[in-house]
Each structure stands twice: as C-alpha cells, then as structure tokens.
Structure 1
C-alpha cells in the first residue's frame, strides 16, 4: 500500500474514532450536563429543522460567493499592479496591512450603518479574502523564471508580455494556494455581517435567533452547517490545485510581502514623502468612504469625527474612560491567548517532526476547528465552558494556533537533510538536533506566524467578549450598538485596527533585529 493510501486510511480511522467517542460522550451527557450532544442527536434535530436551512444557507452562500469573487478579482488585479509598480506597493502598504489587521467583528457594525441590503455581507466577505490572495499573487509573480523572461525580452517583449507569458503562469500555484486559504474567510465574513446586520436570512441570523433558546442540538447543527460550507469551499480549491498542479506541488502560502530590497532606490526626501503617504493613505480612504456613501455625519464618523468624540466633545472624558477600561480587559487576555496559541503551535510543530503519526491523528480535529466560523464556534464553547475567561482563552488559542502551526511545521520540515546529517554524524540525539539546528532555522517562520496571529487573537477575544463574557472591547462594541453610540462604534473599530497594525509592526521590528543578529535574511 502506498504512503498516500496509508495516510488516507489513517485519517479516515481517526475521524471514525472521534465520531464514536463524540457519540458516547454526548449520549451520556458527560460534558456540562448535555452541552455537547451526541452526533446522532444533532443530526436528528437538524432533520427536524431541515425546512429552516435552505433559505439561511442560500443567503450565506450567495453573499460569501459574491464577496469571494469580488475580493479575489480585486486582489489579483492589485497584485499584478503592485508587481509592475513597486513604488505603489510601498505606498499602499499601510492600507494592505490595515485590511489584513481589520477585525471583522469591529467593522461589521460600521458596514451595516453605512451600506444596505446584502452589501455589508458581500463587503466583509471581500475584505476577508483580499489580503491573503493579494499577498499570494505578489509573491507568485515576484518569484519567476528569469531565463524565460529574458527570452521574451530578447524577442522584443515588454514588461506586460513578460507578465502575461511568464509571471502569471508561474504564479498559478501561489494564487491557487491563496484562494484555498481565503475561501473559508469569505464564509466567516458573511456570517459575521449577518450576525450583526439584522437581516432575515443567513446562518448568522439563524444562530443569533437560536442563542437564547437553550437548545444545544440546534446550535451545534447550525455550527456544523457553517463548518461544512467553509470546509467545502476550502476543499474545492484543494482539489483544483491537485488536479492542475499535481499532488507533489506545494500549495503552502507565504503571507509576507517581498523584501524592500526589490524597491527602486530613492533619495531621502522621496523616501520620506512615500512614508508619509503610506501613513496617510488609510485615513484618506476612510474619509473618502464616508463622503462617497453619503451617510449622515451623526452616524458616520470621519477620522476627525473620532478625534472630536474622544478628545474635544463634552462627553469625551467619559468616552475615554470607557475605552480605557475595555482595553485593560481585552489586551491582557489577548496577549495571554496569543502566547498560549504560539506555544501550542510550536509544540505541535516539533511533534510533527519527531512523531509523524501524531500529526495524522491530530489534523482532522484541527481542520474542523479551523473551518468552523468563530461566531458559530463561540456559543458552543460557552455551552461547555460557561461565560468566564476560560472560554475567551480557548477561542483565542483555537484561532491562533493552526496558522502558526502550519508555518512553523513548514519551517522545520524545510531544513535541508545535508544540514541535519552533521549533528547526527557526531551522535546527536533527535532532540539535540532539533534544538541546535531545526528550531533556529525555523526562526523566520516563528516571526511570520506571530505577525499572522496578532489580528486573529484580537478577533477571537472580541468575539468571545461580545457573545460570552460581557467585558472588554467586544462588549463595548455590542453595548454601543444597542445605545446607538455611533461615535464609540467607530472609535472601537479604529482602535482595534490601530492596535493590530501597531502589534504587527512591533513584531516586524523585533524580527529584523533578531534575524540580523543571527545573520538570517528576512522574507518580508
């Protein structure tokens, strides 16, 4: 039997074991007095509620599919433009990082206030896929066969012809990898907008209406339905990738942007001007969005409106006090959850190298937790863990460990065998070889995974605060929606984005210093 068939059989066996254990535990009510029902009980309730699902599923699939199409079209087009114009890539870096760091739960109320109909759902789905696919496109187009490009230029071809005949074809693996990762993000974006949008249809709306009924079987059914949709969207592009590229071609995604060394050399005044433009462009686009939508000033706040709300208006002292109290509740648990998620990912990555069988056992469970949208996962964890800080910590670990684990495992696995042979030749144990060679070699991936998990950790905490604990920025955002405190809604959204961007650049600065100390090159 081939190794592929063996791995497939092991995965199927592990899934069946999980199902059997789940059924026994659920039927015996061993978890929080029935908070985790048996799988058969969930399926029975799903069948009872079957008439409710078509309309809700169609609304979610329609919004997420349209957002996926629009967001990825813009992302691929932007990636092509950025590669042709590195100056534009540098100028828009602030916007791109802001889009990446944007917590969907913070921007969802903003979109509901400023847009109508299905537009908030489609927009949030599009924002969820943009950065991943744009980054994949830029990296794929930047890593091309220069010999083929030279041949095109030798026959009189220009940059666009090189892009068409060489770069775009070579970037197909990276773009498909980006689409594969982005697909579940579109589903999450649509459900989050439904959850806070007040519409009639959608799985987010159905979940919101079911939260107060004390029916765990229904909540688990809705969560699993959302998981199946997100999982299928991921699987579709996995199949496409394998069919087009072959199963031996890597579809892992490097989420960084090409290094600054590829940019043209500018004089100091020009560099300062570009840097100023990078900082100001996100705020300019924010202001333009408000003006173009034509939303009244009472509802929509420009950057100057947020500053006035926090520092100049009569109630600014009270607003600052509320915001500070919320930050003091959110930031510590975010840092703790992110650290725990990274440590968990690090241990899993080491285990995947030293105990390959462990990885086959763990991956099916991990994939389920990653494809289930957060807004559906959180109420289920509340049923099991209650509404304390433990649920916030679990949600944060759940959303941060998997992408970090994938990158760290990739870094450890890519250490050349020739490098590993030296410590082995001197009799080093597997752990000593890991500690002295593999782990230091994976440092760039550790920093890349940290940058990746910062906004995800904040998102996880805010969703748990919104749905479970009643504390922090998530709860402040939810209460502000109820009180129609539009200034605070915009303020929380702006602060959450600024925090994510600030943490991103702090990690980036530490990464540069650390890798320079070890003589490593940063894949920025």
Structure 2
C-alpha cells in the first residue's frame, strides 16, 4: 500500500480532533464548533459569499501587485545605493508601522470605491518585499560579482546575472509573507467602513449575532484565500532554492559603510531621514485636499498634544494607554521571536516534528487578524492572555519563515566540515549554521517590531478595551481626529525607535563577525 504523506496525515488528525472537540463543546461551551458544523453553515450561507469573496480578492490582489512592484523597484535601488536606503529608512518604517485601523477611516473619507482597500493592501506588502529584496541582493556572493566585473560586466550586468538570481529565494519568501498581509490589509479597510461588499464587512455584520459557526466560516474562507497565496509562493521558493543554492559560505562579503561620511554630510543625512516622513505626511494632506477638521498636519498633532486647551487630558489618556500597550508588546515580541528561533533550528534537528506542527502554524498566520481575534475572544475571553496569544501568533510565523530561509541557504559543505571532525548536530548548528544565518535573525526581528505593536492594538481594539487600540476606537466614535492622528504618530514613532535599536545592535554584531549589514 502506498504510504500516506505526513502532511496529509497530520492534517486529517487535526481535523478529527477539531471535530470531536467541537461536537462535544469542549472549548468554551461551543465557541469552537465542529468542522462539519462550519461546513454546513458555509453551505447554508453560500449565496452570501461570492460578492464578498470577489471584493476582498480583487482589492488584495491589485494591492499585492502594486505594492510588490513598488517594493521590488525600491529594494533594488536601496541595495545599489546604501545612502538612498538610509535616507528613506524613516519613510520605509513609517509605511510598515502605520496602524491600518487608524488610517482606514481617513482613507475611506479621502478616497473612493476600492481605492482604500487597495492602498492598505499595497502598504501591507511593501515593507516585507522591499526588505527581502535588499537582504537577498546584499547577501549575494561577492566572488561571483567580481568574476563578472573582471570580464567587463557593468554594475547593472552584475545585478542581473548574479545578485537578482541569488536573491530570488529570499524575494519569494517575502512574497509568502506578503500574500496573507495583502488579504489582511484589504479586510482591515473593509472593517473600517470601506464599502458594502467584502469579507471584512461580512464579518463585522456577523459579530453581534452570536453565531460562532458563521464567524469561523468567514475566517476559514479568508484563511483559504491567504493560504493559497502563501502556498503558491512557497512552492516557487522551494524550486528556486535548489536552483540558486550556494556551494560554500560567502567569505568575501565586505563590510557595509566602508567609507565613513564627513560629520557635515552625516548631519545633513540625519536631517533628511527625520524630515522626509513629515514632508510626505504634509504633502499627502495638501494633495488630497482633506478637510482641516479631519486631517492633522505634523504641526496640528503637536498643537493638539502640547498646546491646545485639551492637551493635558489628551496627554493623560495617551500615557495611560501606552502603559497598558507597551509591556504586552515587548513580552509578545520576545516570545514570538524566541519561539520562531527555536522552531527554525528544529527544522534541521527534528524535521518530522516540525512538519506535524506546520498545519496549525499556517492557519494562525494566514487567518487575518480581524477574523481570528473575534474567534479567540470566544475561547480565551477578553483578558491579557488573548492579547499575548494574538501578538505571538502574528510575530512568530514571519520570523520563522525568514529564519528558516536563512538556515536553508547555509551551504551543505560548510555544515559537513565540523561533522567530519566529530561534531554533533547541535555543535554544527552552533558553530556554523546559527552564525551564518545571523543576518536573517536580525531581519526577522526588524519585521516583528511593527507587527507586534499592530497585533496588540488590534486585540485591544476588538476585544480587551484597553491600551492604544481601545483609545483609537474610542476616538473614532467621538470623532476625535486629533487623537486618531496622534495615536498613529506615536505608534509609528515607537516602531521607528525600536527598529533603529535593532539596526544598531545588528550593525555592531555583524561588523564584529565581518559580515555585511542590510539595514
């Protein structure tokens, strides 16, 4: 008899456990229905889904294409010009760290039709793909580039023949993460009031009905859309990994920033890094013609928070929200990265165990947050445990994918050398694999900083009634646009500060090891 594939067997076991637990109401008195009950409800609601699915699929697909096209162009430009990368660093982080739940209502008021959803979907994929492109190009083998250069190849020729080919597995890994992000962005825009049709709109209308089977059905449909995109690029990534694998470690990789700039140039660059996001912020308001009552310029936010008559009250609300949001953000981010690191290492040490766990991990990643959080409320309630679980679930998987890719790209010959001298699998991992994949560890950390804050804010917004997410939700209800823009600004500022801290540690560690940084 033919052997049943491990993945299929594990998936069947998972569905069986789910069915038994659901049918017997073992989870929160029926908060988790049986899988067959969800399928039955999906069939009963089948007439509702086509328009909702098409609206979400269209917005996320167009946003995915636009966002990734911009990200690839920007990634190549940044990889070829480190100065340009540093200048746009603040803009890049700000784009990724913008809370979609904060800007969705503003986009709905300033843009029409499907544009808000497409914009949010594009924003959701840009940073991931751009970062993957920069890392992939910067980690290409310089010896191959030197060979092309020795035969008269131009800078563009080196980019086309060596660096982009070497970066393809990393870029497709970025696409894997970007596909679910695009679906999340589109649904968040729908959840924020962007139109009649869409899975987010359908989910929002079903929240108050007390029908877990319908909520799970909507969540599974959204998961299927995101999961198919993820699996498509996972298959491409696996094919490209075998076609572009290096034979030896890249010992010729030079240090970044070899030539130090003068103090005057560094001051000018710092001014450009700090001012560019604010200039783009101001330009967006001017070009879109948003009413002054809704739009807040950087000076408007400063006035609201520091000089207006209501400034003391606003400051008190903001500080109270920060004291509730920041601790859980740090805890969730640390736990998510630690779990991802252990999981990535285990892909080499215990591959069968990881394959058994992956179906659960894939569902937690591909199910959009706004679809997952209401379901988790039914199971875990509205306490801190829910927020921590959501934060870990949204941070560990992107970090794991990035780390696993870095470990997979370590050449087999470099791993076999210590084993030839009697090293154990763990000793080989500690001596060769982990140091060689350090750039990917730092890249994973940079990716999780804004995601951790976003995960906490969404859980607060939809469930716990505390922190920045709840303050944002209350401000929307009170039409307090000053606080909405202030929360968005503060969340971006926090992400930028944490990101810069990771970059500083990365630069110091990798320079000490003689490796190139990919800021």
Show the 5 A alignment for 1:43-442.
43-83=39-79, 85-142=81-138, 143=140, 145-146=144-145, 149-150=148-149, 153=152, 159=155, 171-241=167-237, 245=240, 249=244, 261=256, 266-411=261-406, 414=410, 422=418, 425=421
The 8 Å contact of residues 415 and 441 in structure 1, kept in 2 or not, is answered as: no
Bigger mean CA deviation after superposition, 107-116 or 297-306: 107-116
In the TM superposition, residue 334 of structure 1 has moved relative to its aligned partner by: 0.8
In the TM superposition, residue 230 of structure 1 has moved relative to its aligned partner by: 0.5
C-alpha change, 1:204 and 1:263, in structure 2 (3 Å) is farther
Aligned counterparts of 1:316 and 1:38: Cα–Cα separation in 2? 51
In the TM superposition, residue 424 of structure 1 has moved relative to its aligned partner by: 7.9
In the TM superposition, residue 480 of structure 1 has moved relative to its aligned partner by: 0.6
TM-score by length of 2: 0.89
TM-score by length of 1: 0.88
Q: Secondary structure at the match of 1:201?
A: coil
Aligned twin of 2:481: 486
Q: Secondary structure at the match of 1:197?
A: coil
Aligned counterparts of 1:307 and 1:463: Cα–Cα separation in 2? 25
C-alpha change, 1:138 and 1:510, in structure 2 (3 Å) is closer
C-alpha change, 1:170 and 1:519, in structure 2 (3 Å) is closer
The unaligned stretches of length 5 or more in structure 1 are: 252-257
Q: 1:19 aligns with which of 15, 25, 42?
A: 15
Aligned counterparts of 2:83 and 2:418: Cα–Cα separation in 1? 44
Aligned counterparts of 1:412 and 1:159: Cα–Cα separation in 2? 29
Aligned counterparts of 2:245 and 2:25: Cα–Cα separation in 1? 43
In the TM superposition, residue 79 of structure 1 has moved relative to its aligned partner by: 2.9
Aligned counterparts of 2:85 and 2:334: Cα–Cα separation in 1? 31
Aligned twin of 1:41: 37
The 8 Å contact of residues 120 and 193 in structure 1, kept in 2 or not, is answered as: yes
C-alpha change, 1:359 and 1:20, in structure 2 (3 Å) is same
Aligned length: 509
Q: Secondary structure at the match of 2:291?
A: coil
Aligned twin of 1:255: none
In the TM superposition, residue 215 of structure 1 has moved relative to its aligned partner by: 0.4
The 8 Å contact of residues 420 and 437 in structure 1, kept in 2 or not, is answered as: no
C-alpha change, 1:474 and 1:285, in structure 2 (3 Å) is same
The 8 Å contact of residues 114 and 300 in structure 1, kept in 2 or not, is answered as: no
C-alpha change, 1:89 and 1:447, in structure 2 (3 Å) is closer
Q: 2:503 matched to 1:508?
A: yes
The 8 Å contact of residues 92 and 281 in structure 1, kept in 2 or not, is answered as: yes
Aligned counterparts of 1:62 and 1:458: Cα–Cα separation in 2? 28
C-alpha change, 1:415 and 1:203, in structure 2 (3 Å) is same
In the TM superposition, residue 450 of structure 1 has moved relative to its aligned partner by: 2.1
C-alpha change, 1:60 and 1:388, in structure 2 (3 Å) is same
The 8 Å contact of residues 132 and 181 in structure 1, kept in 2 or not, is answered as: yes
Q: Secondary structure at the match of 1:296?
A: coil
Aligned twin of 1:452: 447
Aligned counterparts of 1:84 and 1:399: Cα–Cα separation in 2? 31
The unaligned stretches of length 5 or more in structure 2 are: 247-252
Q: Secondary structure at the match of 1:226?
A: helix
Aligned twin of 1:495: 490
Q: Secondary structure at the match of 2:192?
A: helix
Aligned twin of 2:5: 9
In the TM superposition, residue 411 of structure 1 has moved relative to its aligned partner by: 4.9
String of CA shifts for 1:349-406, please: whole Å, max 9, x gaps: 3433332211111112111111111111111111111111111111011111112223
In the TM superposition, residue 95 of structure 1 has moved relative to its aligned partner by: 0.9
In the TM superposition, residue 105 of structure 1 has moved relative to its aligned partner by: 2.6
C-alpha change, 1:147 and 1:505, in structure 2 (3 Å) is closer
The 8 Å contact of residues 345 and 404 in structure 1, kept in 2 or not, is answered as: yes
C-alpha change, 1:195 and 1:259, in structure 2 (3 Å) is farther
String of CA shifts for 1:15-40, please: whole Å, max 9, x gaps: 11101111111111100011010100
Aligned counterparts of 2:95 and 2:258: Cα–Cα separation in 1? 22
Bigger mean CA deviation after superposition, 228-237 or 366-375: 228-237
Q: Secondary structure at the match of 1:50?
A: coil
Aligned counterparts of 2:136 and 2:428: Cα–Cα separation in 1? 33
Aligned counterparts of 1:452 and 1:282: Cα–Cα separation in 2? 19
